[in-house]
Amino acid sequence: KQEVTQIPAALSVPEGENLVLNCSFTDSAIYNLQWFRQDPGKGLTSLLLIQSSQREQTSGRLNASLDKSSGRSTLYIAASQPGDSATYLCAVRGATNKLIFGTGTLLAVQP
């Protein structure tokens, strides 16, 4: 059974720092991995999707990498801003369409 874990559970950094969020999964037989952002009381905003054949994806200040064989993905945020404060979730898709989510990393960027 696929299990998805995110470390750290919470992170506080000063504005301008570069940071890395980690996601690990137990079954490497995934089709893709998706990173989301969730603001308090809100829905999930899709940030990046990495297909299983890809190593990384970039969007603006965000870069996500995938190492399928070791069951790991990282989300790198460059030059963090207070507006980046949110919970970041990773989710993996296996042979079926359902996404299996991690517990998330709560990020606070201090001005």
Partner 1 sequence: EPEVTQTPSHQVTQMGQEVILRCVPISNHLYFYWYRQILGQKVEFLVSFYNNEISEKSEIFDDQFSVERPDGSNFTLKIRSTKLEDSAMYFCASSDENNQPQHFGDGTRLSIL
Which residues in this chain contact partner 1 in the complex, by CB under 8 A?
31-32, 34, 36, 41-46, 49, 51, 89, 91, 93, 96-104
Residue (32 or 65) nearer to partner 1, CB: 32
At residue 74, what is the residue type?
A: T
Question: In the bound complex, what is the minimum distance in angstroms from residue 111's beta carbon to partner 1?
Answer: 26
How distant is the alpha carbon of residue 86 from its chain centre? Answer: 12
Question: In the bound complex, what is the minimum distance in angstroms from residue 72's beta carbon to partner 1?
Answer: 19
Between CA 79 and CA 87 the distance in angstroms is: 17
Between CA 63 and CA 69 the distance in angstroms is: 19
Residue (3 or 15) nearer to partner 1, CB: 3
Nearest alpha carbon to residue 50 among 77, 73, 29, 20: 73
| Residue in the block written with tokens 């963090």 | 80
Residue (13 or 99) nearer to partner 1, CB: 99
Question: In the bound complex, what is the minimum distance in angstroms from residue 67's beta carbon to partner 1?
Answer: 19
